[in-house]
């Protein structure tokens, strides 16, 4: 039997399960917070560009602050989302390391061809990674736990 999860519940689980790595996460638990934070960041950037003279400095500060605040919850939900796909959650670690390297190279003085190559590789990799996260998780229990879409009777567990 499928449990219906609202967007608010998915967003709440994003924050309350920020340090949980031993479970599985549904697609909604990953994509709802991703979309909410993406839209909020864009709106915040627009407001900053409209009200400040030195918007580049403020945009960089806001980007760094949002990256710091969201790093652990997004790593955790990505980790659990991969486990729902019956993949090791540790595949999220290289992705976050590559993202950090890409963000650092934005502030470095690279020649145009190197910058284009880094950007191309990053965006192709990110696109493939995010595409994988759109697939439906493993039905039923897998090696990482029970199916998060199923109702679990804790007093009468299935054997």
- pLDDT at res. 155: 53
pTM, 2 dp: 0.84
Q: Would you kindly state where each structural domain of the chain is located, as residue ranges?
A: 7-132
Q: What is the pLDDT of residues 6-29, one digit of tens each?
A: 999 999 999 999 999 999 999 999
- Residue linked to tokens 């650092």: 104
Confidence of residue 120 (pLDDT cuts 50, 70, 90): confident
Closest CA to 97 of 115, 122, 70: 122
**Residue 73 to residues 114, 118, 127, 141, 149: CA-CA distances in angstroms?**
32, 26, 20, 24, 21
Nearest to 80 by CA among 88, 69, 68, 71: 88
Question: Which residue, among 31, 1, 2, has the nearest Cα to 13 in the 3D structure?
Answer: 31
Rounded to an integer, the average pLDDT of 108-126 is: 81
User: pLDDT tens digit string along 48-92?
Assistant: 888 888 777 888 888 888 888 999 999 999 999 999 999 999 999
Region of 86 please: left (phi>0), alpha (psi -120 to 50) or beta. left
pLDDT above 80 for 3? no
Contact status, residue 73 vs residue 18, Cβ threshold 8 Å = yes
Confidence of residue 152 (pLDDT cuts 50, 70, 90): low
Residues whose CB falls within 8 Å of the CB of residue 134, separated by 6 or more in sequence, listed in order: 27, 31
């Amino acid at each position: 039997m499928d449990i219906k999860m609202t967007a608010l519940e998915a967003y709440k689980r994003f924050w309350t399960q920020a340090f949980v790595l031993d479970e599985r996460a549904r697609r909604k638990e990953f994509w709802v917070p991703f979309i909410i934070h993406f839209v909020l960041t864009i709106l915040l950037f627009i407001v900053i560009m409209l009200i400040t003279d030195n918007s580049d400095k403020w945009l960089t500060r806001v980007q760094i602050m949002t990256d710091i605040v969201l790093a652990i919850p997004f790593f955790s939900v990505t980790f659990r989302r991969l486990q729902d796909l019956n993949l090791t959650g540790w595949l999220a670690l290289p992705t976050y390391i590559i993202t950090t390297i890409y963000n650092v190279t934005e502030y470095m003085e690279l020649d145009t061809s190197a910058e284009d190559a880094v950007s191309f590789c990053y965006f192709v990799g990110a696109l493939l990674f995010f595409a994988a996260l759109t697939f439906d998780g493993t039905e039923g229990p897998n090696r990482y736990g029970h199916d998060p879409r199923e109702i679990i009777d804790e007093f009468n567990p299935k054997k």
